[in-house]
Amino acid sequence: MPPGPPSLRIVSLLPSATEIVFALGAGDHVVGVTHECDFPPAATRLPQCTANLLPPNLSAKQIDDAVARVLTEDPHSIYRLEADTVRELKPDVIITQSLCAVCAVPESTVRDISCNFPFECRVVSSDPHSLIQLFESILYIGRAIGYEKEAVALVVDLKARLARVQQLPIPANPPNVAVIEWPDPPYAPGHWVPDMISYAKGTCVLGKPGHKSERISWQQLAQLQVDVVICAFCGYDLYRNQIECDKVRSQNEWKAFVKGANVYATNASAYFSRPGNRLVDGTELLAFLLHRVEAYRPPRTSASQLRNGEWVDVADL
């Protein structure tokens, strides 16, 4: 018999939580997800309980402007929670977050709406700021849905994989690594990304571990001494990261910033943006990008390197 109540019904309002629940083996209990839940593929076939309210086809600059505007006016105007859909799904557990106001429906909105449901529903919030807190979040979600044993096993496995990366020989001169979280305006990463770089034996020269992402100017970036630049624009897959990177490559500040550095684009949505179990995959990806550790050669469409003005999938290097 699988763990957890047989009739358990879960609505996940967070892509990373959807990935965690499926990784725990509880995917059959998920009855609703967000419009952004694209992994694993089974999640894409479930009812969507949220909608993006921003206009389509906005540029990175237009998205940043729109987000800044709505955050000062009405943070509920980025996403819409489809309350009627959630009510019809009759979840026992709703997983949400309060980590980032622009990443998902705010926890306060979920709690306000769920109070009016004609059935009992527990709201669980997942808010990790670091890799260590990610493991705690997985355990918390596991306990909340009756999959504690599976959560412990998953965390043990993820920690073991990180330990193997951490045990890589320390290079004499660890590369200076700058991950860019947003292209226009540029943002320095925070939260778990500096941890990932450190585990992969790189020196993080941009962003503070456990802190929020911060806007930074191209002039400030141009002053950094970097060996590796990684475009991990939040929420974008590899193809969109390449497109957005191409848009800023003509800027003189960009050219000064990346001069002499290896430049990569990544599937940020899969490996950097979402605080789920695939952050460990992202750390292993970094080990390959920084040191070409063959054991961590990634599958295609994970990352690409800019070579002679063209993007080359790193799986082919």
Q: What is the mean pLDDT of residues 155-176?
A: 93
Which is higher by pLDDT, 199 or 105? 199
Residue 100: the pLDDT is 67
User: Please, which pLDDT band fits residue 79 given cuts at 50, 70 and 90?
Assistant: confident
Q: Residue 158 above 90 pLDDT?
A: yes
CA distance 142 to 56: 35
| Higher pLDDT pick, 109 / 125 | 125
Q: Where in the chain is the domain with CATH 3.40.50.1980?
A: 10-129, 171-316
pLDDT tens digits for range 291-306: 999 999 999 999 999 9
DSSP β-ladder status, 93-96 and 10-12: parallel
> How large is the greatest C-alpha to C-alpha distance in the chain, in angstroms?
62
CATH node for 171-316: 3.40.50.1980
Q: What pLDDT is attached to residue 1?
A: 44
Q: Any residues with CB less than 8 A from the CB of 201 and at least 6 apart, and which?
A: 165, 168, 170, 171, 174, 287, 290, 291
Q: Answer yes or no: is pLDDT of 283 > 70.
A: yes
Please name which of 189, 182, 199 lies closest in space to residue 132, comparing C-alpha atoms. Answer: 199
Mean of the per-residue pLDDT values for the chain? 91
% of residues, the chain, pLDDT over 90? 73
Q: What are residue 233's phi and psi, to 5 degrees?
A: -70, 125
Distance CA 213, CA 234 (A): 10
For 123-154, what is each residue's pLDDT tens digit? Answer: 999 889 999 999 999 999 999 999 999 999 99
Six token digits for residue 175: 């590369």
Mean pLDDT of the 109-131 span: 88
- CATH T-level assignment (fold) for domain 10-129: Rossmann fold (3.40.50)
| Model confidence at 4: pLDDT above 70 | no
Buried b (16+ CB within 10 A) or exposed e, 220-231: ebbebebbbbbb
Q: What's the whole-number mean pLDDT along residues 191-199?
A: 96
How do residues 21-64 score in pLDDT, each as one tens digit? Answer: 999 999 999 999 999 999 999 999 999 999 988 888 888 888 88
**Cα separation, 64 vs 67, whole angstroms:** 5
Give residue-wise pLDDT tens across range 228-282. 999 999 989 999 999 999 999 988 889 999 999 999 999 999 999 999 999 999 9
Identity (one letter) of the amino acid at 74? Answer: D
Determine the pLDDT at residue 99.
64
